[in-house]
Structure 1
């Protein structure tokens, strides 16, 4: 799959979290911009391109902005990667990283991160209802690690306005995953503890994200590509 005008792209997922093991997939996430002229036709251009082998997800810039403004954890992590994990980083991508804090707000971060963590717990419960294979045990451990990571990262973002993707103690997460794989009920106290922590923490994030900052950046992207198109015609 060839996608033009990639603005920012990097390695995300377990590699970024420091939780990868031998044989782990390498996940990539990025944003691209469709040629501005294509926005004026009868049909809207495709907003996402997803492939496996390699595992890569690319969102069109407008869709990515909507996801990030909604607090989507997966979209958000793209602009908080360690420098060495970026594979494509354009000047417009640097501008996007520069406004990353403006895209956040307290309620959406809390709802999104706790919401995703709760989804992981529901998956654990559903898997626990049937027979457990070795593959199922591995998946349960993986979902448990994601639950704990989402809770921890969401609370950090909520309380400090910053996001650290690489976990401090990877072994703690792997051990937690194994405990939950043996007994799914072990995940619930962790989820409840983080729910209480959110309740007791005063957020540093504003009540609403700065949509104007996202809109301004998006218009610069559109103007840049329009100028490039007309100059080449």
Structure 2
């Protein structure tokens, strides 16, 4: 596999990992360009490779770029890590392009939307089994993280992954596990903050810059 960029993401990157947490890796790879000319193209589901022990997800270059252009929080964070386990010159170029993927509405809609999705999961996850309570606590932690990270990204134009006060997120997660409705006013307050803020991010991503990078990838693996 032609790995362009690989790093440790998730709870480890946020500073929210505990003794039993998985170490999640995310990466970008490039298929040989000739594979893009056959009957069965490496796109959509076929463009993602998931492995376990250790946990690792890698997206093909085009799919990764498309996800980042929509400000997908789970994928975007790879471009804002402080260090990488694998990093090629094309991976360096990709990190250098990280601001080209963002737009004001894209960041707001993605991060607030993901937080809202976490809230829906809270409402549909059972509260009484120990395993379910742990899952709800995790959803609660990440709901708050998404709101905080998304708002800061929206108003500064930069994504900071590591949280300042991990205990605040753990405590919130525990409260949410006891009563998911605790999250509802937090979402409402976040929406009000977004509504009252302005963003330095552009109205639209810089697609030409991203496409130029992807074409360089295709030329490299021709």
- What TM-score does the superposition give when structure 1 sets the normalisation length? 0.92
CA offsets per residue over residues 7-40 of structure 1, 9 Å max, x none? 0010000000000000100111000000011111
Q: Residue 210 in 1 paired to residue 183 in 2?
A: no
Cross-structure match for 1:81:
81
Q: Residue 43 in 1 paired to residue 6 in 2?
A: no
Q: Residue 101 in 1 paired to residue 86 in 2?
A: no
Please show how residues 62-141 of structure 1 align to structure 2 within 5 Å: 62-83=62-83, 86-127=84-125, 130=126, 132-141=128-137
Deviation >3 Å, runs of 4+: none
**Larger deviation, residues 87-96 vs 38-47:** 38-47
SS at structure 2 position matched to 1:57 = strand
SS at structure 2 position matched to 1:50 = strand
Report the count of equivalent residues: 219
CA distance in 2, matches of 1:150, 1:191: 11
Cross-structure match for 1:161:
157
CA distance in 1, matches of 2:47, 2:179: 40
How far residue 131 of structure 1 moved from its aligned partner, in angstroms, is: 5.2
CA distance in 2, matches of 1:126, 1:48: 28
Cross-structure match for 2:59:
59
- What TM-score does the superposition give when structure 2 sets the normalisation length? 0.96
User: Which runs of 5 or more structure 2 residues have no equivalent in the other structure?
Assistant: none
CA offsets per residue over residues 194-231 of structure 1, 9 Å max, x none? 111110000111110000011000001111111xxxxx
User: Which runs of 5 or more structure 1 residues have no equivalent in the other structure?
Assistant: 227-233
CA distance in 2, matches of 1:107, 1:214: 18
Larger Rg: 1
CA offsets per residue over residues 33-79 of structure 1, 9 Å max, x none? 00011111122023010122221111000000000001100110000
Q: Residue 6 in 1 paired to residue 7 in 2?
A: no
Q: Residue 220 in 1 paired to residue 209 in 2?
A: no
CA distance in 1, matches of 2:185, 2:54: 36
